[in-house]
Amino acid sequence: MDAENWLVGIIGRALAFGTPLLWAALGETYVERAGVVNLGMEGMMLVGALTGFAVTMATDNPALGILMAGVAGAVFSALHAFVTITLRANQYVSGLALTILGTGATGLIGKAYEGQPLLTTLENISVPVLKDIPILGPMLFTDQSVLTYLGVLIGVLLWLLLYKSRLGIMLRSAGENPKAVDAQGLNVTLIRYAAVIFGGFMAGIAGGFFSVAYRPSWTQGTTGGVGWIALAIVIFGRWNPMYVMLGSVFFGALYVLSFRLQEKLSPDLLNMMPYLFVILVLILTAIGKKGSGGVPEALGTPYRRGER
């Protein structure tokens, strides 16, 4: 295989594997922009993956399966919203509990689906005309999931919404200075609830991608810790949807390389590579940041109306 084909293969598969990272990280970006941390990403993705698989198997409709995966993730995340926004419990503990609950519940309920093939899946597509462009065509527009392109489109729309609209100002203000938002007569609780549930919907879609499109089957822990990497990508992307998209492709490429280089390097070392880069990125981000480094000022802080 020459260098050109090798590079085309790496980038093409990086887009595929970066797709669930992209959906999950974009959702968490909005959650954290509103001032809430949700470490339950892995649990929500597993709930979405199992729901998407079960619905698709029952209906032979993968689009409905993906949609219901998002709905399941949103419903599951509402639990985190209630505990952390209404009851003002510790957001980090609640998120970890959500991951443990999602992992355990899907492992138990999903046993009935293990080993069963999914006859109808979300097929990949090739974009007419664009797929014939030399190098870029095979790299970007051939045999990709529609969720990949939809994720990129949503990423751009979320960036526009966050930085170019009044709704985006409200969301960012809820994460930076919720008292000022409250003083304007806006409902901080409602904004944060909406952000957390939206983040859960996006994480559910990410999980559904695994079980309905990428490897259409259900096994316990099918997401393989991707939710944790998505959380790191949010920090890597400095809570900006555009940078989050770049980070998703970068970490997707690392996963692909961990398989492609196994003939030359130790498989154990390569399997560690994405997670080692997560640690490296977090260290470099912490060292390189100036001032807040893009971190929302009220991130992780419950809001109590009238409290000084």
Q: How confident is the model at residue 306 (pLDDT cuts 50, 70, 90)?
A: low
C-alpha–C-alpha distance, residues 82 and 179, integer Å: 20
pLDDT for 261? 73
| 43 located within any domain | yes
Give every CB contact of residue 233 below 8 A, 6+ residues apart in sequence: 21, 25, 244, 247, 248, 251
Question: 158-167, 228-237, 266-275: lowest mean pLDDT where?
Answer: 266-275
| 191 located within any domain | yes
User: DSSP readout, 159-225?
Assistant: HHHHHHSHHHHHHHHHHH-HHHHHHTT--HHHHHHHHHHHHHHHHHHHHHIIIIIIS-S--TTTTTT
For residue 7, the tally of other CB atoms under 10 A from its CB is 13
What's the whole-number average pLDDT of the chain? 89
Q: What would the mean pLDDT of 174-201 be, rounded to a whole number?
A: 95
| 10 located within any domain | no
User: How large a percentage of the chain has pLDDT more than 70?
Assistant: 89
| 245 located within any domain | yes
Q: What is the pLDDT of residues 10-25, one digit of tens each?
A: 888 889 989 999 999 9
**Is residue 260 pLDDT above 90, yes or no?**
no
Give the global pTM: 0.91
Residue type, 84: T
Give every CB contact of residue 260 below 8 A, 6+ residues apart in sequence: 6, 9, 10
Domain ranges, residue 158: 16-116+143-287
**Is residue 1 pLDDT above 60, yes or no?**
no
Question: 2-11, 279-288, 290-299: lowest mean pLDDT where?
Answer: 279-288
Overall domain count for the chain: 1
Q: How many helices (H) and strands (E) does the chain have?
A: 12, 0
pLDDT for 270? 63
pLDDT for 97? 94
| 248 located within any domain | yes
| 67 located within any domain | yes
| 33 located within any domain | yes
Pair of tokens at residue 60: 């032979």
pLDDT for 292? 53
pLDDT for 240? 95
| 36 located within any domain | yes
For residue 2, the tally of other CB atoms under 10 A from its CB is 7
